[in-house]
Amino acid sequence: MVAIYTSNYPTAHTQSNGVVIREGQQSQSIAFSNDNGLTWTQYEGNPVIESPPAQYADQYQQFRDPFVFWYAPTSKWIMVASLAMEHILLIYSSDNLKNWTLQSQFGPENARFGQWECPSLFPLYVDGNTKTQKWVVLLGINPGGIITASGTQYIVGSFNGTTFVPDPSDVYDPTQIPAGSTVFQDFESISSSFEELGWNATGDFSGLGPQNASTVQVWNIMGYLGTGVLTTYLFGDIATGTITSPTFTITKQYISFLIAGGYYPYNPATAGTPNDNQVSFSLVIGGQIVHSQTGTDTEDLVWRNWNVAGWMGQQAYFVVTDVNTGPFAHIHVDEIIFSDSPKDEANWFDFGPDLYAAATYNGLDNNHRTVIGWMNNWGYGQNIPTSPWRSAMSVPRTLALKTINNKVRLVQQPVSSLSSLYTSPLYSHQFSSLRAGETAINVPAPYNARMKFTVQFTRGSGTQFGVILRSNTTDTQETVVGYDFLGQNVFVDRFKSGDNSFVDWQPNPYPGRFIATLPTKSTDCITLNIFLDWSSVEVFDGQGQAVITSQIFPLDDSAQVKLFSVGGTTKSVTVSVNGIKSAWT
């Protein structure tokens, strides 16, 4: 057995084999075992790849995470390693695992923030067709994830044994907007006030207007288009108030925009109260906030989008709200566009905050690829309130490539063998029409805290449907999982899911409501598979394209389970609940 790993050298020294090591150097090494892994011997010629190539010589402290597989067509071992801060993957080949030749590099592409870590490169058949194969790069990003801090993206393409080439449809140019888009506001009129642009500003923003992004005195704003940007960083982080757009009619399916700043999300339970600390950009329809976005704790503007097809023809407006004077309490917004397709930044593997360092396993055929992720986030991972360990791994997931709306997407579902841990059904019921409000579900302990909850439903007269998990008798703790028929998204809301006091700094990256866009028709039957395991929730839609992974930390007595339907009925609701037994007994 051969182990291939990154050596991290804390001190400078010269090895017994004569290799000169620098302080903080990262190199790729191997070890071998002749007793099936019981004992290991480090190879005397380590490191087998001492440093990055010459053009990246200064990156010797950020060179790590080898992923190695056998490529049969050329009878070579292939290694993919990351130049973390350069957002580049280096691809090497070898005959013997000891001598490596650099073949090519890939990147930067799509989400180009923070560090690129833990890459995988693997083949999958498209739609299960053994005659159609594509390759997938899967890699972690920290910071720069879809919520804040850690995240995971994927890119589909081809690989010939030396070079990975992304499919053109999987590469997103942040400077290009979708064809047929209407630009609602680009904030290029930096000599005009908001009022002169038809917007209304209150508080410290009254009488002011868009700013030249290059002159905003905060770190280094990146990713804006043109010159101007809406920003609430005008007198440092002490400025507060609102900036409201003119009213407009929704005529296209998507609203996309660039956004950056601190992570202070809109929380409907505290909005307008003394506990309100939001710094947000929101869409208001019928007097209600129906979509809201905050920054990702960076100054890099990134594309975000909202599906608004459910409000076609209705009147709406935007409001920027900054009521916070704390650290990083500002927001930047640019290039608001209306279009019939979303402006994407990347292919996100998971739309929740807690799936990182996803590792895939080689050795199965090309129609079977298993992945396990670290179910945590570097934004708070070292502080979560668990004992005697911190962090868990996700359930093992099976990956596949599936054509959805004419685009090949990486989808995932829990491995089928997980069913060996299921109890017999603990609850099963069909509702031809579920009434508005909440409906209690009786799941016996301890399985009310560890269960597989499967629900199928179609739209009735209601606007949202879902399940409330780990709820207490006073509703002060709960985790809400559901589907928004108007916003066309699966969501997980953990604003009240339990302890978040373990984060004692601001912005607090833990609370939030996380969405994964999932367009449906009014007659579609929607499936959600929800895996609850004490302090984690993993949500998969029926096809595995909308996946959200989230940690939660409720009290032990928060164990109620309830269905809910908002604004009216939900039709053809079928619920099935299985307990999940321990994998350790």
Q: How do residues 156-187 score in pLDDT, each as one tens digit?
A: 999 999 999 999 999 999 999 999 999 999 99
Q: Among residues of the chain, what percentage have pLDDT more than 70?
A: 100
> What is the pLDDT averaged over residues 484-509?
95
> Which pLDDT value is given to residue 220?
87
> What is the pLDDT averaged over residues 198-212?
97
User: Nearest-CA neighbor of 119 among 168, 75, 159, 73?
Assistant: 159
Question: Locate tokens 């019939």: which residue?
Answer: 340
> What is the pLDDT averaged over residues 286-307?
97
User: Nearest-CA neighbor of 110 among 132, 83, 137, 128?
Assistant: 137
Report which residue type is found at 153.
Q
> Which pLDDT value is given to residue 363?
87
Say how far apart CA 59 and CA 87 lie, in whole Å: 11
CB-based contacts of 172: which residues, under 8 Å, 6+ apart? 110, 303, 344, 345, 346
User: Nearest-CA neighbor of 511 among 353, 299, 330?
Assistant: 353
> Which pLDDT value is given to residue 130?
94
The tally of CA atoms less than 13 A away on the side-chain side of residue 87 is 13
User: Is 90 exceeded by the pLDDT of residue 13?
Assistant: yes
> What is the pLDDT averaged over residues 224-241?
96
User: Is 90 exceeded by the pLDDT of residue 338?
Assistant: yes
User: Is 80 exceeded by the pLDDT of residue 444?
Assistant: yes
Say how far apart CA 181 and CA 484 lie, in whole Å: 25
Instruction: Give the bridge partners for 430, in sequence order.
Output: 574
What mean pLDDT, rounded, does the chain reach? 96
Say how far apart CA 530 and CA 125 lie, in whole Å: 27
> Which pLDDT value is given to residue 410?
98
Output the CA–CA distances (angstroms, integers) from residue 576 to 131, 202, 453, 572, in the order listed.
Answer: 37, 50, 6, 13
Output the CA–CA distances (angstroms, integers) from residue 121 to 124, 166, 375, in the order listed.
Answer: 10, 12, 21
Say how far apart CA 370 and CA 394 lie, in whole Å: 12
> Which pLDDT value is given to residue 577?
98
Measured CA angle at 259 (ends 255, 260), to 5 deg: 165
CB 284 within 8 A of CB 317: yes
Buried b (16+ CB within 10 A) or exposed e, 388-426: eeeebebbebbbbbbeeeeebbbbbbbeeebeeeeeeeb
> Which pLDDT value is given to residue 550?
98
Say how far apart CA 198 and CA 255 lie, in whole Å: 19
Output the CA–CA distances (angstroms, integers) from residue 378 to 61, 147, 265, 354, 384, in the order listed.
Answer: 19, 12, 19, 9, 11
Per-residue pLDDT of 341-352, as tens digits, reads 999 999 999 999
Q: Among residues of the chain, what percentage have pLDDT more than 90?
A: 96
Say how far apart CA 449 and CA 477 lie, in whole Å: 13
User: Is 90 exceeded by the pLDDT of residue 219?
Assistant: no
Say how far apart CA 435 and CA 461 lie, in whole Å: 10
Q: How confident is the model at residue 584 (pLDDT cuts 50, 70, 90)?
A: confident
> What is the pLDDT averaged over residues 418-439?
97
Say how far apart CA 547 and CA 353 lie, in whole Å: 11
User: Is 80 exceeded by the pLDDT of residue 366?
Assistant: no
Kindly report the pTM of this predicted structure.
0.97
